[in-house]
Every structure is written in structure tokens, then in C-alpha cells.
């Protein structure tokens, strides 16, 4: 759990780059004493305490107690308020590697900084007004993005696209609330009474905007977790071979023996910008082993959750009862018949499979040689065409927290609409409008409690 009782007077430090060996590691320091902390450990031509903002300096890091040299570095000074956190910030670019970066960090802590909590740099950016809450969440989305589309969506949110939409809605609600509260506070003054028809139209427009944002939830989930594509079929039809070929790596074990895959194997694939979660599954067949049976149960669970099922058939053999059982299992779900092993298939078998299980979208491939995989990839992309349409329209996407808040906004708007239609007093209407306003504020952090903040920032890595 993130500690939200931090003292803003603290100066914090952390390694901002992933652990491991690399060319460069970055140690970030933020807080009112950041320049002084840096000055205690840095030796160069210019002291960080005297350096101009947004300048880079070559020097070395030494231990503030022993004076022993730790590393040669580039040090960047960024003075408040034009920094990520809105505070004094120093970034030390040292050589990559677990030991040297850890020693640089330890030196800054010895010099007066404390180790930052997960997400604390971004939390400070939020507290200091550099980012609103939805933009802070976008920082984490950028880090976790697994495809071009997911990255573009996160960048749009960081740029304030969602914040702008929420701001417009809040502005309309504030206008409506101001009129209602004027009627409540000054009943004897000559204030023009609220026009019920105009108010209902305003509420209807706000409900429509809520619906449009709520409609983007599924898009957001797909961008974050991937368009799930389950590779299914009876045993030994080439499911694992297809997974490996699509990933261009030997991720799954391939043998001629039935039942080799007994558990679900899941991997991400960036398919020309589309985030795809490929799922290889156990072969669907009546089985005798307990372990294999558990694998088949997991296969059925994945099929139920899938956005698309690739149902594979082996064209080197004639259709059999196991093929029919696999077909019955996926009936009712969105699927694409894929006839595999056309490199060793007879025309008779291919035609028999297409008659039995095919449809207009069925296709012929060779997972071993990659034949027609470009056509298969195109078909997968077309199955997720809603993402392309969303991207072309430059729409925003929302997460689960936003969705919960918007559902509460919608509920309050419905109550306000009902109160107007039933000619209830302005107090009743104003209460519901105010509730809508507060719930919208939760999205951007205008009205949010510490438990929610803690839940958001604990998902960040240390150093961000």
C-alpha cells in the first residue's frame, strides 16, 4: 500500500530505470533539498546547487562520508516549477548495472534523501498540480503499453484528452447547479426560473456524453489486456506450431505425441499495432488423464472469454469425431475455421473439412511453413476493426475506475431528470446535479479519497 502520509518536505530518490545490466541507469532525486543532496555527492566544474535549470554536467559521484569515487556520470539539474514533479529535480545518469546504480542511490540517501515509495514521483506531480489523476494514470499506461495503439491511447490521455472531455461536462453541470442554487439561496429575488425543457436537454446531452465514454470501456480493456485470440482444436492439429510461427519464436513445445500441451500458454503479439493476446490451449478430446482433463477445462474457460477463436483442423487427415466435438465446443462463440497442414494435405481432405466445418471466412494455412499466415493475420485484424475505427475518430478510452464513476454520474443524472419531470423542488434537483459533479471530479482527482489514490499509485514502479 502506498504511504500517502508522506511529508512533502522530504526529498526522495530512486532508480528510475529497470533493474539489470545496461548502458545507462538513472537515479532521480526530487524535493526542496534535491540540489543540496546532489551537491553532497557530485564533483564537477559546477555545483548542482549553483547550476542553471535544465543543464547537464559531467562529473563523478562520490560517497558523501568517505569521499570514495563511485562512478563518472552526467547530472541534469531541473529547477521547480518546470519539472515532472513540480519540485527541484536532479537526474543522475550513471553506468548501467545493478551494483553501480545501487551505490549511487545509497550515496544520495546517505546525503539526506529517502527512498521513494512506488509511484511517489507521479503522486507529487499530481499533488503539485502538474498532472490531474487521469493523466497520472496515463503515465502507468504508457509504461505498460504493449502495442502502438495502446501507447497512442495512453499518450492522448496524458495530453489531457479525457481531462478535457470531463472538464466540459463539469462546466455544463456547474452552470446548471449555479442556476439551481441561485433559486434556492435567493427565492425572493427576481431571478429567472430554471427552464425545465432546457435543463432536460442539457441533462440528456450529458447522459449522451456519459454513454459515449462508457462505450470506450471495452476498447480500453482490449488495449490494456490485448485482443484475446484462442487457438483451439483437437490434439495434434498444429496449435502450438501456429503459436510459435505467429510469435516467430519456439514458445510452445511441439511433438507428434497427442496431449503435449496440457496447460494454457499465453503470449502477447503486436500485430501491426493491434495488441493481441495469443492463447495456445490443450487439445479438445475425450481424455483419460486427470492432468489433461484439467487442461481441457481451462481450454473451455479461455474459449468463453475469447474475443476470437481460431479453430484448427488437420488437412492431412479426414474429419473425425474429435473434430466434430471441437466444433460443437466452440459453436455459439466467435470463431474462424483454419485448415492447417495444407503442405501435406490432399484436396479431398481439404474439401471434406470445408464442407463439414467451413464458412465464408475459413482459410487454408501451413503453420510449419508460414503459408497464408499474412492472410490469417489480416483476418485477425479485421475481427478487431472496432479498434481501428476508434483510433481514426481519436476517441478516448476509459479504465475500470473511470467506468464506475461514470455509471454513478449517469445514475445521478437520471435522478435529476426524474426530479425535474416530477416538478420537485430545486433542492432535490441540485442535490443530484451536485452528486454528478462530484463523481465526475473523481476521474480527474478533484474529489477523491486517499484509499483510491493509494490503490492507483501502488501499481506504479519505484522511480516513477
Same fold, 12-129 and 223-389: no
Residue 405, C-beta contacts closer than 8 angstroms, at least 6 positions apart:
439, 440, 442, 443
What is the number of other CB atoms lying within 10 angstroms of the CB of residue 336?
Answer: 20
Q: What is the pairing mode between strands 227-232 and 363-364?
A: unpaired
**3-class DSSP state of 337:** strand
User: What span, in angstroms and rounded, lies between the C-alpha atoms of 182 and 464?
Assistant: 45
User: What span, in angstroms and rounded, lies between the C-alpha atoms of 233 and 326?
Assistant: 6
Contact (Cβ atoms closer than 8 angstroms) between residue 223 and residue 149: yes
Phi and psi of 77, rounded to 5°? -105, 130
Percent of the chain with pLDDT over 90: 47
Percent of the chain with pLDDT over 70: 89
Q: Which fold has domain 223-389?
A: Rossmann fold (3.40.50)
Q: What is the pLDDT of residues 144-153, one digit of tens each?
A: 888 888 888 8
CA neighbours closer than 13 Å in the CB half-sphere of residue 55 = 12
User: What span, in angstroms and rounded, lies between the C-alpha atoms of 28 and 464?
Assistant: 9
H/E stretch holding 7 reads none
229: cell is 485470440
Average pLDDT over residues 446-459: 76
Q: What is the pairing mode between strands 308-314 and 335-340?
A: parallel
Q: What is the pLDDT of residues 165-214, one digit of tens each?
A: 999 999 999 999 888 887 776 665 544 556 788 889 999 999 999 999 99
395: cis peptide before it, omega within 30°?
no
Residue 89 has pLDDT above 90, yes or no: yes
390: cell is 476508434
User: What span, in angstroms and rounded, lies between the C-alpha atoms of 455 and 123?
Assistant: 12
- Please give the C-alpha separations between residue 166 and each of 123, 135, 459, in angstroms, as whole numbers: 21, 12, 24
Considering the domain delimited by 12-129, tell me its CATH architecture: 2-Layer Sandwich (3.30)
In what side-by-side order are the strands of the sheet with 308-314?
265-271, 274-280, 227-232, 308-314, 335-340, 363-364
Q: What is the pLDDT of residues 378-405, one digit of tens each?
A: 999 888 888 777 766 666 888 999 999 9
Which residue did the predictor score with more confidence, 388 or 341? 341
**3-class DSSP state of 453:** helix
Q: What is the pairing mode between strands 55-62 and 24-30?
A: unpaired
388: cell is 481501428
pTM of the model: 0.77
User: What span, in angstroms and rounded, lies between the C-alpha atoms of 41 and 19?
Assistant: 22
Which residue did the predictor score with more confidence, 432 or 4? 432
Residue 48 has pLDDT above 80, yes or no: yes
- Please give the C-alpha separations between residue 397 and each of 94, 242, 382, in angstroms, as whole numbers: 37, 32, 20
Q: What is the pLDDT of residues 256-281, one digit of tens each?
A: 544 445 568 888 888 887 889 999 98
pLDDT confidence tier of residue 1, bands split at 50, 70 and 90: very low
Domain ranges of the chain: 12-129, 138-216+397-445, 223-389
Residue given cell 479498434 in the structure block: 387
451: buried, middle or exposed (CB in 10 Å: 19+, 13-18, 0-12)?
exposed
Residue 234 has pLDDT above 60, yes or no: yes
Structure confidence at residue 150 (pLDDT): 85
454: cell is 493509494
| Partners of residue 58 on adjacent β-strands | 74
Phi and psi of 325, rounded to 5°? -65, -40
Q: What is the pLDDT of residues 101-123, one digit of tens each?
A: 999 999 999 999 999 998 899 99
Residue 72 has pLDDT above 70, yes or no: yes
Phi and psi of 108, rounded to 5°? -65, -35
Residue 21, C-beta contacts closer than 8 angstroms, at least 6 positions apart:
96, 97, 98
User: What span, in angstroms and rounded, lies between the C-alpha atoms of 330 and 371?
Assistant: 25
Dihedral over Cα of 170, 172, 176, 178: its sign: positive
Contact (Cβ atoms closer than 8 angstroms) between residue 71 and residue 103: yes
User: Can you give the length of the chain in residues?
Assistant: 464
Q: What is the pLDDT of residues 154-163, one digit of tens each?
A: 888 999 999 9
Structure confidence at residue 33 (pLDDT): 96
Q: What is the pLDDT of residues 344-376, one digit of tens each?
A: 988 888 888 888 877 656 789 999 999 999 999
Residue 252 has pLDDT above 70, yes or no: no
User: What span, in angstroms and rounded, lies between the C-alpha atoms of 92 and 401?
Assistant: 35
Residue 255 has pLDDT above 50, yes or no: no
Lowest mean pLDDT among 126-135, 304-313, 379-388: 379-388
Lowest mean pLDDT among 71-85, 228-242, 357-371, 397-411: 357-371
Structure confidence at residue 257 (pLDDT): 44
Q: What is the pairing mode between strands 114-115 and 308-314?
A: unpaired
Right CATH for 138-216+397-445 from 1.20.120.430, 3.90.650.10, 3.40.1180.10, 3.30.930.10: 1.20.120.430
Structure confidence at residue 394 (pLDDT): 63
User: What span, in angstroms and rounded, lies between the C-alpha atoms of 237 and 357?
Assistant: 15
What is the number of other CB atoms lying within 10 angstroms of the CB of residue 153?
Answer: 29
Amino acid at each position: 500500500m502506498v504511504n500517502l502520509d508522506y511529508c512533502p518536505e522530504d526529498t526522495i530518490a530512486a532508480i528510475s530505470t529497470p533493474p539489470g545490466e545496461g548502458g545507462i541507469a538513472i537515479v532521480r532525486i526530487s524535493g526542496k533539498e534535491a540540489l543540496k543532496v546532489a551537491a553532497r555527492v557530485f564533483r564537477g566544474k559546477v555545483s548542482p546547487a549553483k547550476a542553471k535549470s535544465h543543464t547537464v554536467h559531467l562529473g563523478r559521484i562520490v560517497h558523501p562520508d568517505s569521499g570514495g569515487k563511485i562512478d563518472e556520470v552526467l547530472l541534469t539539474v531541473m529547477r521547480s516549477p518546470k519539472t515532472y514533479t513540480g519540485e527541484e529535480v536532479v537526474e543522475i545518469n550513471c553506468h548501467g548495472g545493478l551494483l553501480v546504480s545501487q551505490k549511487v542511490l545509497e550515496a544520495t540517501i546517505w546525503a539526506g534523501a529517502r527512498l521513494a515509495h512506488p509511484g511517489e514521483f507521479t503522486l507529487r506531480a499530481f499533488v503539485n498540480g502538474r498532472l490531474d489523476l487521469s493523466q497520472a494514470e496515463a503515465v502507468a499506461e504508457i509504461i505498460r503499453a504493449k502495442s502502438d495503439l495502446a501507447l497512442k491511447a495512453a499518450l492522448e490521455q496524458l495530453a489531457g484528452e479525457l481531462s478535457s472531455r470531463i472538464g466540459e461536462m463539469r462546466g455544463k453541470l456547474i452552470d446548471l447547479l449555479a442556476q439551481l442554487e441561485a433559486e434556492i439561496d435567493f427565492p425572493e429575488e427576481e431571478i429567472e426560473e430554471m427552464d425545465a425543457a432546457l435543463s432536460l436537454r442539457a441533462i440528456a446531452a450529458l447522459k449522451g456524453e456519459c454513454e459515449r465514454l462508457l462505450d470506450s470501456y471495452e476498447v480500453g480493456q482490449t488495449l490494456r489486456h490485448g485482443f484475446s485470440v484462442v487457438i483451439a482444436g483437437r490434439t495434434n492439429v498444429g496449435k502450438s506450431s501456429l503459436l510459435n510461427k505467429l510469435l516467430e519464436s519456439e514458445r510452445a513445445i511441439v511433438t507428434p505425441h497427442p496431449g503435449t500441451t496440457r496447460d494454457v500458454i499465453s503470449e502477447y503479439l503486436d500485430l501491426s499495432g493491434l495488441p493481441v493476446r495469443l492463447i495456445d490451449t490443450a487439445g479438445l478430446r475425450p481424455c483419460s488423464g486427470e492432468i489433461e482433463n484439467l487442461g481441457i477445462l481451462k481450454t473451455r474457460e479461455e474459449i468463453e472469454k475469447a474475443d476470437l477463436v481460431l479453430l484448427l483442423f488437420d488437412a492431412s487427415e479426414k474429419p473425425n469425431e474429435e473434430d466434430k466435438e471441437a466444433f460443437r465446443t466452440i459453436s455459439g462463440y466467435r470463431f474462424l475455421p483454419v485448415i492447417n497442414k495444407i503442405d501435406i494435405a490432399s484436396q479431398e481432405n481439404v474439401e471434406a473439412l470445408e464442407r463439414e466445418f467451413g464458412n465464408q471466412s475459413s482459410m487454408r494455412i501451413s503453420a510449419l511453413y508460414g503459408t497464408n499466415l499474412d492472410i490469417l493475420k489480416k483476418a485477425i485484424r479485421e475481427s478487431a476493426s472496432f479498434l481501428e475505427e476508434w483510433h481514426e475518430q481519436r476517441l478516448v478510452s476509459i479504465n475500470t475506475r473511470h467506468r464506475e464513476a461514470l455509471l454513478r454520474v449517469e445514475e445521478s443524472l437520471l435522478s435529476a431528470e426524474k426530479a425535474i419531470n416530477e416538478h420537485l423542488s430545486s433542492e432535490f434537483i441540485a442535490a443530484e446535479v451536485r452528486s454528478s459533479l462530484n463523481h465526475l471530479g473523481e476521474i480527474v482527482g478533484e474529489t477523491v479519497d486517499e484509499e483510491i489514490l493509494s490503490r492507483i499509485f501502488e501499481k506504479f514502479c519505484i522511480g516513477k
